[in-house]
Amino acid sequence: MATLGMSAADKEAIEAFKRDVVDPSMTSLVILDFWAEWCGPCKALSPTLEKIAVDYADRGVILAKINVDEQKLIAAQFRVQSIPTVYAMFQGQLVADLTPARTEGQLTKMLDQILKQLPITSEADAAAQDLAPMIAMGEEALDAGDIERALSVFGQLADMAPDNSDILSGLARTLVQAGQYDEAEAALAALPPEKEKDAGIARARAAIALARDAQPVDDMAALRAKLDADPDDHATRYELAGGLMASGDRDGAAEALLDLIARDRDWNEGAARTRLLKLFEVVGLEDGWVRDQRRKLSAVLFT
């Protein structure tokens, strides 16, 4: 907006608009609400816009209200001819006319479509990016079997971000490795229902279930001797797989379960396959080891 020849008041209005609207729009989506005190429809729409601004704040959306009577120059610059007029601005440019949308549902639908197309980094995204290296540090410690260090990392992270699914998943899985099954379940107990669908939480719950199911075995040599004497003793092979899982030998556990499936896939209502799939979920469905084991399982099932 050019300021040459403008009054001091107009220049101040333009500077304020730049500071309060244009500059924030460089990284956020700004909803511009042109309104006036005498406008009934404006007052009816205002609570909806304010609610949406609160609901979408963590996705990088902010609300700027422009009183057309007090900021006539700004309204004129945007060629506002009737109110309410509602625009969306990003990086100093209008990206959408939200005026036709008058209900919360209509507005949220339009905002969702807009946000999918814009490179907006919300506060929640930025916070997640800051936590990612520390979460990776905890996962590395857990993978290396350094349970004490993993507990320390995930415990501190849980204090910082108590609703973060990846952090709670890591903490619960670490507690499982420490043999603290009740504590692992307690770490997930306060999760809101929508978080239960997150892959990390499902992985943690599978780890707890698998750990409770797979009990340590004191004498593995005796189990192996029983199998040597009777290779079709499926209960013993299943117990051996559980003991191997409890000791952290996932290769041996997978081999035992695949052998059992190959011998009798329907034994005990498919218990071996169910346990193997739980193991896959605990390790991580995108893990290379799981992909290799899935190929082996497919070969057993389809040959």
Active site members: 39, 42
Helix (H, G, I), strand (E, B) or coil at 54: helix
Q: How far is CA 193 from the centre of its chain?
A: 13
For residues 135 and 170, the answer to whether their CB atoms sit within 8 Å is yes
For residues 102 and 58, the answer to whether their CB atoms sit within 8 Å is no
Quick one: tokens of 114?
Answer: 């807009």
User: 236-244 long-range CB contacts below 8 Å, 24 or more apart?
Assistant: 237/263, 238/267, 238/268, 238/271, 238/272, 238/275, 241/214, 241/272, 241/275, 242/213, 242/214, 242/215, 242/217, 242/275, 243/214, 243/215, 243/216, 243/217, 244/220
Q: Which residues pair with 62 in a beta bridge?
A: 30
Q: Which residues pair with 29 in a beta bridge?
A: 61
For residues 129 and 38, the answer to whether their CB atoms sit within 8 Å is no
